Each structure stands twice: as C-alpha cells, then as structure tokens.
A and B are shown apart, each in its own frame.
Chain A
Amino acid sequence: MDFMILSLIKLGLVLFIFMTALAYIQWIERKVIAHVQLRVGPKRVGPHGLLQPLADVIKLITKEGMVPSHVHPVFYYLAPFVAVFFALIPISFIPFGQANVKIPFTDITTNMELTDLNIGLLLILGLSGMGVYGIALAGWASNNKYSLIGGLRSSAQMISYELPMALALVSPLLMLNTVSLRELVNGQEGFYFNVIPRWTIFLMPAPQIFSFIIFMIAGFAETNRVPFDLPEAENELVAGFHVEYASMKFAAFFMAEYANMVTVCSVATLLFLGGWHPIVVPGIGNWIPALVHIGGGAICLYHGLVQPARKWDNITLPVFGVAFIGAGLLFAIPIVQELLAPVFWFTAKLLILLFVFIWVRATLPRFRYDQLMRFAWLFMFPLALVNLLITGLLVAATTN
C-alpha cells in the first residue's frame, strides 16, 4: 500500500515537472534562437515571455479541431496518440538520481526514478523504434501528397539511423556489462587522478567519444531535428507529415518531438556523461550547485539593478535573482544537498545537450534526402561498427 501511494506521488510529481519542462524547453528554444538571430524572442506574455508556453497550450487546446474531409478517420486520429504515447513512456524508467534515498523527516527510502527496469536500455531502443509509426501513419492517413512524402522520408530515415544508434549504444554496454540504466550509471562513478571523471566518454580502456558523437548525430535524426528535419522540411514539403493537423493533434506531434529530444539527451547523459555523478570530486563538487545558482542570481541582480536593458527589467530581474539565490542557499543545506545535488547534475547535463540541439537548429542547413541516407549507411554505420570492434577487442584484452 505504501508503495502504491509513494509511486502515485512520484508519478504525479515527475509528470508535472516533465510536462512543464516540455513547455519551457520550447520557451528556451525560442529565446536562444532569437538571440542567435539578433532578435529578443517572446517577451509580451508575462515577464520575459515566461507565460508564453502557458498561452500556447491554452491556445492549442481551445482551438477548433478541424478535420479535413479527405483523411482516413481512424488512422488520422490514431497517429498523434501513437507518436506522443511512445515518446512519453521512456520517462517512466529513466533514473535521475541515486537509489535508496531517504526522504528527510520520514523513514521512507525510495529510488529517484519511477520504475527500476533491468532492461531499461533495450526498452528505450525498442520504443524509439516504435515512434516512427506515429509519423508514418500521419503521413499516410492525411491523404496529402506532401504528408505522404514526409511520412515516407521519416520512415526511411528513422529506420536507417536506428542502426548506428543501437551500435553506438552497444559499446558502453560492453564496457559496463549491464543493460540496466541504473547499473550503467553506477559503473561510471569515481575519478581518475581525482580530476577526470570515469564517465564512459573517458573510461579506460576504450573511451567512447566516437560512439557518443554517433549517438548524438543519430539522435538528431531520430528526433527529426535540423539538419535532419526532412520529414517536416517546411521549405520543401510545407510542413511534411503534419500538414493536415491542427489544434491538440498538432500539439501532440509537437510534444512528441520535444519529449523525444529529452529522451535522447537523457540516454546520452546516462550512458556517456556519467548520469548524476558530479563533474568534479565531491569535496568541492558538493558546493557547485549552490554556487551556480547564486552566480546566476547575482547576474540577474546586476542586470536588473545596475544595468536594466529594458522597461520592467529593474523589477523582474531582481525577483528572479532573489529566487535563484534562495535556491542556491537551499543547495547549501546538507540534507537538501544530499538529496538534490544528483538531480541537479543530471538536469545540468541534460540541459547542456538540449542547448546543443537548439544551437545546431539555429546554425545548420538541411541535408538532402539521398545525402542523408548516404551519410547514415556509408559513414555512420561503418564508423559505429569499427568503434564497436575496437571497443570489444580492448575490453577483451583487459578483462582477462
């Protein structure tokens, strides 16, 4: 019974944070791209546009759900659900903190995740492969030529990139000898010479830098992001597979894309970047979360009080600054530190990877369909294979 209640509370908490985060990732993306492109981004709804995601959600929910007369009704409705379903499931078994954490002031201990699956990684691979059905179905059911081409491109692309992606994931498995996500992260604890963390990308005998890069590139393709956004290439296919979708059905695709991005970045963090382990040795490392927050707060205060760039900045920025410093001081309390520091590290790595996704979107042009396929089969696939071979040989040579 206790387990049930605890699980429900955790589920509610994670779901709330995750859904809010999905909306705000979009806000971050719009802001970052705006600043790359010499604009300011959303800033009308709430201070610095912070309520923009909320406004978007309300707009999408209340919009009329127009259904074109020429679609296949069953699959047309099914497609967005399939896409969002397979995109959201992985979050239920991605660990984001240590196991057996004791919650303060109670004697309950729990894991920082929803479910501990011993085959977590395999399941994630399988589910990401299922995601293609949502897009392919949408493309076909829309009964629109642009959608059809988008759906076809997407199917071919996702199937092709699944292969190097899976091969890139096999190498860390070989080194750490498990497929449980939690065990994988536990295997990366510690430091070489008290400086270099023992993350998979640095782990001896075969640092997995190449498989990390391959995984990230394949991740871009899996999530249909620039430069692999061919299925929805707006300049060629208008909007690709979601041309005929509006309101919540469109929002479902949108959510699926961002949820997939979070999943890919989480897996990269867990497998290659040491999950929730800090980047510096614990002695100093414990204070970094507090320092980062206080530093951020100080920057906000400086810009708000000394250099307000725009109207209202002298009110909004100090508020954020005080909130950040408050959070920083919270991280200075030992109990909270013990509980939340791993979550902080996990989130920080996740956000950095997400920033890379956004950064690339603002910079790179788009591949052509045949170039994309050639890149997958003639470059990524052999590279992943060679990497796997070398890793296997090195692991075999050292474990005897």
Chain B
Amino acid sequence: MRSAIDYPVESRPAPEPQESPTGQRRMTLNMGPQHPSTHGVLRIVIELEGETITRAEPDIGYLHTGIEKQCETKTWQQVTTLTDRVDYLSNLANNLVYALTVEKLLELEIPERAKYLRVMMSEFSRINSHLVWLGTHVLDIGAMSMFFYCFREREELLRVLEFFSGQRMMTSYIRVGGVALDAPRGWEKMVRKFVDVFPSRVDEYENLLEKNPIWLNRTKGVGYISVEDMLELGVTGPMLRGAGIAMDARRTEPYSGYEKFDFRVCTHTDNDVYARYRVRLEEMRESLKIIKQCLEGMPGGAFQADAPKVVLPEREKMKTQMEALIYHFKIVTEGFRVPKGEVYQAIESPRGEIAYYIVSDGTSKPYRLHMRTPSFGNLQGLSPMIEGALIADTIAALGSMDFVLGDTDR
C-alpha cells in the first residue's frame, strides 16, 4: 500500500516518522505548500500522534521572488515599485521604510504636508492589512461571513487609496523625497466618509465574535509562546504586544512625525490567539484616531522635498525652465545619486518591525539592500507555538501570526 503513494517529489522529503515513547507509530503530515489555510505557499511538516502535534517544522521559500537581489539592478526610484510587491497587503509601509532609509542617506528634509500624508496613508495601509487578516483568520476558524464583511470595508478603503494614488493595491504612493502626488481635490470628504462609518463596522465585528463561545474557545489559551522565546526568535508587532510588551516603533523610535500624534500602543497580556486578535482590533481603532488627526491637522505647503537633484520637477517648470529640464532628464535617464554609506531604518508595519538596511556606493543604484521583514521573524514562533497542540490549533496559530509569504521569502 505504501509504495502506491510514493509520488516523485522534488522538494526536500519529509523526515521519517519516529516511534513515540508509548510505542505508537507517528504520522507525518505535509501541510502545504498547497493548502487552503497556509495563506500562500507555506509548507509545514507536522508529525502527528492521533490529532496531537508532536513536532512541526515550517518550510519556507516557495514564494522566493529574488526582489532583494533585483533591487541592486534598479535605480533608486525604480526600487520603490519593487518594495510594493514584497508585502502586498501593507505596501505603503514598505514604501515608507524604503523612502525613509534612502532619505536618511541623502539627508533630505521632508516637508510637513508630505509627512502627514505619509502617516495617513500608512495608517490606511495598517487598517487594510488588519481587515484582510481578520477576515481570513476568522474564515480559517470556520465563520465565513466575517470575510465578506471585512472585505466590504476594505473595498471602501481601496477606493480611498485609488483616489489618492490612482492604484488600488500597488500604490507606490510614497516616494523618495515625499509622496507621488498631492492629495486630490475633495480628499477630505472621501476620508471623512470612511472615518465616520468605520468605527461602527469595527463594533460590528466585535459583536459578532466577542460573545461567541465557539470563537472564544478556539482562540483563548491557544498558540501560547513564552515571551523569552519570542524575543529570542525576533517576533515583533502585534504578537509581541499581545504578550504585554509595548514595543511599537511608532512610539519607541518615532519616524515621519509620529511623535506629534496622539495614539495608544495597544497591549494585552494573555499571549494567545485571542490576545493578538484583541490587539489588532484595537489597533484598527487607534489607526483611525491617527487618520482623524491627520484629517484635522493637515498642513499646507509642498508635498515633495525641495531637492531638485532627487525629486522630479513640476511639469510646468520642466516645460519652461532650462534647469528643470536638465534635472528631469538626468533623473529619468540615469537616476539620482545617493552618497556613499550604510544606513538602517526600522518602522512599524502592520505585521511588526520592518527595517531596511541599505549600502550605497555612491552610484545611482543600491549596492546592497537587505530587508528585515516581520513575517520572517514571526513565523519562527510557529514550532514552539503548536507543538503539543491539535491540528485545528495550528490553523488558529498560523492565522494569529498574520504573515505574508511574499514578505517572508522576498
């Protein structure tokens, strides 16, 4: 019988099942890379004793895109569009960290309006990512309708993003030196509409889940991992905040003017799937608070830095002024040059701490760009989380990590 299931498999074979101490034979189950709940192409080799997991080993690399390496062949401004594709659910956070890192090397001064626009858009991106997470996480646990409710709001949100940048997902809105376009006419009305409606929708999600005993049973006390393990494995973001550590780059090392905004770093002490759900749900409300502050305090002025060597000139100037035309030509044909040096910049993405480490050799292309992505760190926590748990807990724990495999493998 066994020989019949031996398909030619090219990838690394699963380890041979071992005898358990009680003498029962264990079963090795290959979860993924094609599986409805691994959110992409994650492969987990699970060793089972009955329904209990005795060993779990995540296997990544099925979505390797080579983006990190590809960045070395692109000019500095072309890299922006690649960063979108790394973490496709919170692309604006990736844009932002890239722009901030390069600006650090260039020592650019960013105008206030651009900072506010960046903060607002990255908070939109956070809500967007959390909505997708909530929908798919609850879907994994078995309630399908929630998915559609979350995507209803996401649709409205994507419409806002499209209004600002012309794109729904791969916005590339945050560029080196500012943002791509100024806020369009009537943006206040559009954002206010979203801000007014959204709180009631979050309450709706809470109503649907918070009093549901099945949901509480499935999430409370599931997916525990000790804080020491988390810190050692490099777990960040809502997972760490769900364990009671108020680590949030927006607060601990503010960037892009976050120090001016009033918001709460949401924490929870239970350190389980439920705590992570609570943290993310509250973060949606806090993000909305930040967006509201942006809406009320949006300063006027330029939306791009005054740096003709880096930022493309206005269309009007380019057609009338000789100098602007030269700058335009230089930037478009060979890209701007970034001074020699190395720099590291971390920000808080919806999934955790995302950081770019860039080495420049003074040319118009990065010499090396390394991404410290939160999904990779968070995924390390999988094995300690689910060993000894049941198969169903794997799904809940996987969902609570909120990883994007493009972000893990890049």
Please tell me if the beta carbons of A366 and B391 are within 8 angstroms of each other in the complex.
no
Please tell me if the beta carbons of B148 and A366 are within 8 angstroms of each other in the complex.
no
Q: Which residues of B contact A38 (CB under 8 A)?
A: 148-149, 152
**Nearest CB of B to A147, in Å:** 12
Complex Cα distance, B215 from A227, in Å, reads: 11
Q: Which residues of A contact B4 (CB under 8 A)?
A: 69-70, 143
Q: Is B218 an interface residue (CB 8 A)?
A: yes
Please tell me if the beta carbons of B27 and A233 are within 8 angstroms of each other in the complex.
no
B128-159 vs A, Cβ < 8 Å mask (1 yes, 0 no): 00000000001111111101110010000000
Q: Which residues of A contact B301 (CB under 8 A)?
A: none
**Nearest CB of B to A166, in Å:** 25
Q: Which residues of B contact A37 (CB under 8 A)?
A: 144-145, 147-149
A358-386 vs B, Cβ < 8 Å mask (1 yes, 0 no): 00011111111111000000000000000
Q: Is B348 an interface residue (CB 8 A)?
A: no
Q: Is A234 an interface residue (CB 8 A)?
A: yes
Q: Is A112 an interface residue (CB 8 A)?
A: no
Q: Is B302 an interface residue (CB 8 A)?
A: no
Tell me the nearest residue of chain A to B222, going by C-beta: A368
Please tell me if the beta carbons of B392 and A368 are within 8 angstroms of each other in the complex.
yes
Please tell me if the beta carbons of A238 and B36 are within 8 angstroms of each other in the complex.
yes
Q: Is B390 an interface residue (CB 8 A)?
A: yes
Complex Cα distance, B214 from A227, in Å, reads: 9
A210-233 vs B, Cβ < 8 Å mask (1 yes, 0 no): 000000000000000011011001
Please tell me if the beta carbons of B212 and A364 are within 8 angstroms of each other in the complex.
yes
Q: Which residues of A contact B29 (CB under 8 A)?
A: 145-146
Q: Which of A36, A153, A234 is in CB contact (< 8 Å) with B145?
A: A36
A126-156 vs B, Cβ < 8 Å mask (1 yes, 0 no): 0000000000000000010110010001000
Q: Is A235 an interface residue (CB 8 A)?
A: yes
**A366-B51 contact in complex given A38-B152, A143-B1, A236-B37, C-beta closer than 8 Å:** no
Complex Cα distance, B1 from A363, in Å, reads: 41
Q: Which of B36, B145, B147 is in CB contact (< 8 Å) with A363?
A: B145
Complex Cα distance, B214 from A361, in Å, reads: 13
Q: Is A39 an interface residue (CB 8 A)?
A: yes
Tell me the nearest residue of chain A to B34, going by C-beta: A238
Please tell me if the beta carbons of A368 and B217 are within 8 angstroms of each other in the complex.
yes
Q: Which of A229, A235, A371 counts the most chain B CB atoms within 10 A?
A: A235
Q: By the criterion of a CB under 8 Å from any partner CB, how many residues of chain A are at the interface?
A: 33
Please tell me if the beta carbons of A236 and B5 are within 8 angstroms of each other in the complex.
no
Complex Cα distance, B214 from A230, in Å, reads: 13
Q: Which residues of A contact B212 (CB under 8 A)?
A: 364-365
**Nearest CB of B to A34, in Å:** 9
**Nearest CB of B to A31, in Å:** 14
Q: Is B395 an interface residue (CB 8 A)?
A: yes
Complex Cα distance, B219 from A366, in Å, reads: 11
Q: Which of B1, B5, B215, B390 is in CB contact (< 8 Å) with A369?
A: B390
Complex Cα distance, B383 from A278, in Å, reads: 59
Please tell me if the beta carbons of A365 and B218 are within 8 angstroms of each other in the complex.
yes
Complex Cα distance, B392 from A229, in Å, reads: 12
**A235-B140 contact in complex given A143-B1, A365-B214, C-beta closer than 8 Å:** yes
Please tell me if the beta carbons of B27 and A370 are within 8 angstroms of each other in the complex.
no
Tell me the nearest residue of chain A to B214, going by C-beta: A365
Please tell me if the beta carbons of A233 and B148 are within 8 angstroms of each other in the complex.
no
Interface residues of A in 37-72 (CB under 8 A from B): 37-39, 69-70
Q: Is B393 an interface residue (CB 8 A)?
A: yes
Please tell me if the beta carbons of A363 and B143 are within 8 angstroms of each other in the complex.
yes
**Nearest CB of B to A72, in Å:** 8
Please tell me if the beta carbons of B214 and A235 are within 8 angstroms of each other in the complex.
no
Q: Which residues of B contact A367 (CB under 8 A)?
A: 214, 217-218
**Nearest CB of A to B134, in Å:** 13
**A227-B148 contact in complex given A143-B1, A236-B392, A371-B217, C-beta closer than 8 Å:** no
Complex Cα distance, B274 from A365, in Å, reads: 14
Please tell me if the beta carbons of B142 and A70 are within 8 angstroms of each other in the complex.
no
Q: Which residues of A contact B215 (CB under 8 A)?
A: 365
Q: Which residues of B contact A69 (CB under 8 A)?
A: 4
Q: Which residues of B contact A371 (CB under 8 A)?
A: 214, 217-218
Please tell me if the beta carbons of A39 and B141 are within 8 angstroms of each other in the complex.
no
Tell me the nearest residue of chain B to A145, going by C-beta: B29
Q: Which residues of A contact B36 (CB under 8 A)?
A: 234-235, 238
**Nearest CB of B to A290, in Å:** 36
Q: Which residues of A contact B35 (CB under 8 A)?
A: 238
Please tell me if the beta carbons of B145 and A368 are within 8 angstroms of each other in the complex.
no
Complex Cα distance, B392 from A120, in Å, reads: 38
Q: Which residues of B contact A235 (CB under 8 A)?
A: 36-37, 139-142, 395
Complex Cα distance, B392 from A238, in Å, reads: 12
Interface residues of B in 253-287 (CB under 8 A from A): none
Q: Which residues of B contact A33 (CB under 8 A)?
A: 144-145
**Nearest CB of A to B269, in Å:** 23
Q: Which residues of A contact B218 (CB under 8 A)?
A: 365-368, 371
**A149-B217 contact in complex given A365-B141, A365-B212, A368-B393, C-beta closer than 8 Å:** no
**Nearest CB of B to A97, in Å:** 37
**A364-B5 contact in complex given A145-B27, A238-B36, A370-B390, C-beta closer than 8 Å:** no
Q: Which residues of A contact B145 (CB under 8 A)?
A: 33, 36-37, 362-363
Q: Which residues of A contact B37 (CB under 8 A)?
A: 235-236
**Nearest CB of A to B37, in Å:** 4
Q: Which of A39, A70, A237, A368 counts the most chain B CB atoms within 10 A?
A: A368
**Nearest CB of A to B213, in Å:** 10
Tell me the nearest residue of chain A to B151, going by C-beta: A38
Interface residues of B in 96-151 (CB under 8 A from A): 138-145, 147-149
**Nearest CB of B to A143, in Å:** 6
Q: Which residues of B contact A149 (CB under 8 A)?
A: 51, 391
Q: Which of A70, A143, A234, A365 is in CB contact (< 8 Å) with B143?
A: A365
Q: Which of B142, B143, B395 counts the most chain A CB atoms within 10 A?
A: B142
Q: Which residues of B contact A145 (CB under 8 A)?
A: 27, 29
Closest 7 CB pairs of A and B: A366-B142, A70-B4, A37-B148, A365-B142, A365-B143, A235-B37, A368-B392
Apart from the given pairs A236-B395, A369-B390, 15 other A-B contacts in the complex at a CB distance below 8 Å: A36-B145, A38-B152, A145-B29, A227-B214, A229-B142, A233-B142, A235-B140, A235-B141, A236-B392, A361-B144, A363-B143, A364-B212, A366-B142, A368-B217, A370-B390
18 contacts between A and B (CB under 8 A): A33-B144, A36-B145, A37-B145, A38-B152, A70-B5, A146-B29, A153-B51, A234-B36, A238-B35, A361-B144, A363-B145, A364-B214, A365-B214, A365-B218, A366-B392, A369-B51, A369-B391, A369-B392
